[in-house]
Amino acid sequence: MILPKVNRLPPEQVREITEIVEASGCHVQPIVGAVRTIYAIVGDERDELMISRLEGLPYIERIDRIQSPFKLMDIRSDLSTHQITIGGVTLGKAPLFIAGQCTIDPKNPGYFYETAQAVKEAGANVLRGGVWKPRTNPYSFQGDDRSLDILMEASRRTGLPVDTEVMDEDQLKLALDAGVSMLQVGARNALNYSLLRQIGAAVAGRKTVVLLKRSLHMGTLNEFISAAEYIANFGNPSVVLCPRGTSPALDGYRNHPDESIVPLLKERTWAPVVVDPSHSVGKAAYVPACALAAVAYGADGLCIEAHVQPSKGIGDDPKQAVTPDALAETIRLARAIWTLRHPAAPRA
């Protein structure tokens, strides 16, 4: 819908908007009111070039879009009945719990094997473990290809599918070849459109699920959902949105907790939402409250960093990994809240 600054556009300006709109395969339908005339764009109004040309005209107040900018991930898309299943959980039918270490220590694989077993016993459905790490400081541990073997061995020992972050095409290939079931796109790469396209192309035709973190700097909802659209566009729409806190931080927390965006996302997209409270608050003691708040807000699951001995961990684990006991209690309470919100769901 084109809303001009004046009540009615003179014929030469109507001609100008008509030319722009018709160049994109749409046409203009004036809607004449008693005082004001506005101009509907009839056709697929998602053409960005058309919209920005119209917005650039000095006599145009604004363009209101009726159609969503995303075609596949939109709540009204035909894909809205698409079901994503991982670790025996179909999202939306039962809560999904992803848990494990931030970072696998290749020098001490024993901790990861113990953590894997402990998170399974605590009720996790998917095991997470960072093989390659996006570190703010270039001198911090960056990860190690050998950790991929440890991750897959832990998967074999526990029977849990695994989630790990990939940051480039080489890592993507290694992870898929090894049998990683869930690929994580980190907050720093959440708007790396080349990587999103590479991941989309690589997971097309597979059962792989992508866990897409929200970008670091308070990105808009549409920016977040559009990033998922990049991946889905290649043919595999199994993308799970993962709010993980934004920057700047709420004083005292690592980031600004953003689990409150869950209901807003759910108005626009059918994509399941699994919240990461660990990176949101950044300290183990605050993780359970954030996790439970996320489920109260309507999250379909949680991704929680956990470690059998957090103080012996590397990466984020010494600060924000919860112990298996704390994880088990959080999962227990989260399930109870989830069940209250879904009274019709079968009891686990």
- Give the 3-state secondary structure of residue 23: helix
Our CB check for Mn ion shows the closer of 259 and 316 to be: 316
Segment near ligand PEP (CB under 6 A); pick from 118-126, 173-181, 183-191, 230-238: 183-191
Report if residue 134 touches ligand PEP, rule: CB under 6 A.
Answer: yes
Q: What's the CA gap between 263 and 265, in Å, rounded?
A: 5
In the bound complex, what is the minimum distance in angstroms from residue 287's beta carbon to Mn ion? 12
- Build a one-symbol-per-residue string for 271-300: x at contacts with Mn ion by CB under 5 A, - elsewhere: ------------------------------
Our CB check for Mn ion shows the closer of 102 and 175 to be: 102
Q: What's the CA gap between 123 and 333, in Å, rounded?
A: 12
Structure tokens at 41: 């764009």
Segment near Mn ion (CB under 5 A); pick from 8-16, 59-67, 95-103, 322-330: 95-103
The 3-class secondary structure across 308-332, one letter per residue, is CCHHHCCCCHHHHCECHHHHHHHHH
Concatenating the DSSP letter of every residue in 230-249 gives HHHTTT---EEEE---BSSP
Count the residues in the chain.
348
**Residue 258 touches which member of Mn ion, ligand PEP, none, C-beta under 5-8 Å by kind:** none
In the bound complex, what is the minimum distance in angstroms from residue 45's beta carbon to ligand PEP? 34
In the bound complex, what is the minimum distance in angstroms from residue 335's beta carbon to Mn ion? 24
Q: Hey, which residues does 47 pair with through a beta bridge?
A: none
Segment near ligand PEP (CB under 6 A); pick from 34-42, 182-190, 260-268, 329-337: 182-190
Which residue, judged by CB position, is nearest to ligand PEP in the bound state? 186
In the bound complex, what is the minimum distance in angstroms from residue 164's beta carbon to ligand PEP? 9
Amino acid at site 22: E
Report if residue 272 touches ligand PEP, rule: CB under 6 A.
Answer: no
Report if residue 130 touches ligand PEP, rule: CB under 6 A.
Answer: yes
**Count of positions on this chain that bind Mn ion (CB under 5 A):** 2
Concatenating the DSSP letter of every residue in 149-198 gives HHHHHHHHHH---EEEE--SHHHHHHHHHHT-SEEEEPGGGTT-HHHHHH
Please answer whether residues 129 and 101 qualify as being in contact, where contact means their C-beta atoms are separated by less than 8 angstroms: yes
Report if residue 274 touches ligand PEP, rule: CB under 6 A.
Answer: no
Our CB check for Mn ion shows the closer of 95 and 315 to be: 315
Our CB check for ligand PEP shows the closer of 120 and 244 to be: 244
Report if residue 317 touches Mn ion, rule: CB under 5 A.
Answer: no
**Residue 187 touches which member of ligand PEP, Mn ion, none, C-beta under 5-8 Å by kind:** ligand PEP
Which distant-in-sequence residues (6+ apart) come within 8 Å of 280 by Cβ? 243, 244, 245, 253, 254, 255, 256, 257, 258, 259, 290
Cα-Cα-Cα-Cα torsion 158, 164, 170, 172, nearest 10 degrees, comes to 90
- Starting at the edge strand found earlier in the chain, the sheet holding 274-275 runs 239-242, 209-213, 182-185, 162-165, 126-129, 96-101, 301-305, 274-275
- Build a one-symbol-per-residue string for 199-228: x at contacts with ligand PEP by CB under 6 A, - elsewhere: --------------x---------------
Please answer whether residues 302 and 289 qualify as being in contact, where contact means their C-beta atoms are separated by less than 8 angstroms: no
- Build a one-symbol-per-residue string for 99-118: x at contacts with ligand PEP by CB under 6 A, - elsewhere: ---x----------------
Kindly list the residues in this chain that would bind ligand PEP in the complex (CB under 6 A): 102, 130, 134, 186-188, 213, 244, 276, 279, 316
